[in-house]
Amino acid sequence: MPVPDFQSCFRPLLQLLSQRGELQSREAVDALADQFKLTDEERRQLLPSGRQTLIHNRVGWARTYLKKAGLLEAPRRGFVSITGEGRKALGVDPKPFNVRYLKDNYPAFKAFHEVSRSDGQGADDEEAGESSSGQIADTVTPEERLERSYQRLRSELAAELLDRVQAGTPEFFEQLVVRLMVSMGYGGTLKDAGQAIGRSGDEGIDGVIKEDRLGLDVIYLQAKRWANPVGRPEVQKFVGALHGKMARKGVFITTSSFTREADEYASKVETKLILINGERLANLMIDFNVGVTTATTYELKKVDSDFFGDE
């Protein structure tokens, strides 16, 4: 089954601790993963940031919410156990057992939740698992909500970058490719890379750039500022040009996309060939700070388990 949302972990976590007593937080996560019958792939599924598994994040937030409601407690460092109130909650069998139930029945949690909302953690209906239309919605943890907002903003930025690149001149695109390759660690200096790419342009090769600062190997470039998909014939021409240069490595960059036939062909040729479409180009520009500037920086911090001696 998919990894449950964090509210779906409320009751199973209480039941687990009711049966087994206090557990290390990590043991509780593993036990719930077993109970949910998660596959190895689902257990390894990460948040978009790649810094934590989804199941650890969701069980962790379930533990936090239940502690704020007084249903769980931390008897010692790194451990969690059920309280008397938690056992009472299991006896009541609320349906559904979610954030709204906690707000309606536990004043301490309501106070915590209202402060959280005033700090921008999210809409009440969304966290209760219910949309404004009354339909059940995907419920996410505060971290997931933050990361989804980040990914949405990044996607919008990538689209705007690609529009700007496509509206530019071929010369601008050529220089952009140079700056990107240098920012990624290729080409030595910007001056060296610029001289290399500008003076080729024959036999299907748009540029040559050093793979490292010493120039121990070179990479041949093809850059096409196209609106239509690049098909297999264009990629074949580039591969033929690489063979003519006795080249072992090539990068084909376009502002559009590659057809399925082009991708399949590139994956089978002996020459090491990388195809970069418009979407990947825009994301590389963001990753390596080409054509973008940092507007605001937020630091998301968590408790240092090593500092507090958690196992």
Q: Assign residue 37 the CATH number of its domain.
A: 1.10.10.10
With respect to residue 210, please indicate whether it lies within any of the assigned structural domains: yes
Residue 162 belongs to a domain: no
Q: What pLDDT shows up at residue 134?
A: 33
pTM score: 0.67
Does 156 reside within a domain? no
What's the structural domain count of the chain?
2
CB 288 within 8 A of CB 180: yes
Task: Classify residue 297: in a domain, yes or no.
Answer: no
**23-24 and 79-82 as β-strands: parallel, antiparallel, unpaired?**
antiparallel
Both structure tokens of 197: 């790419």
Q: What is the CATH number of the domain that holds 211?
A: 3.40.1350.10
Domain, as residue range, for 123: 6-140
pLDDT along the chain (311 residues), means of 10: 90 95 92 95 87 90 92 87 94 81 90 65 38 44 83 87 88 87 83 64 73 81 91 95 90 95 94 95 96 85 71 49
Does residue 16 sit in the same domain as residue 134? yes
296 lies in some domain: no
Are 112 and 188 found together in one domain? no
The verdict on 131 and 205 lying in the same domain is: no
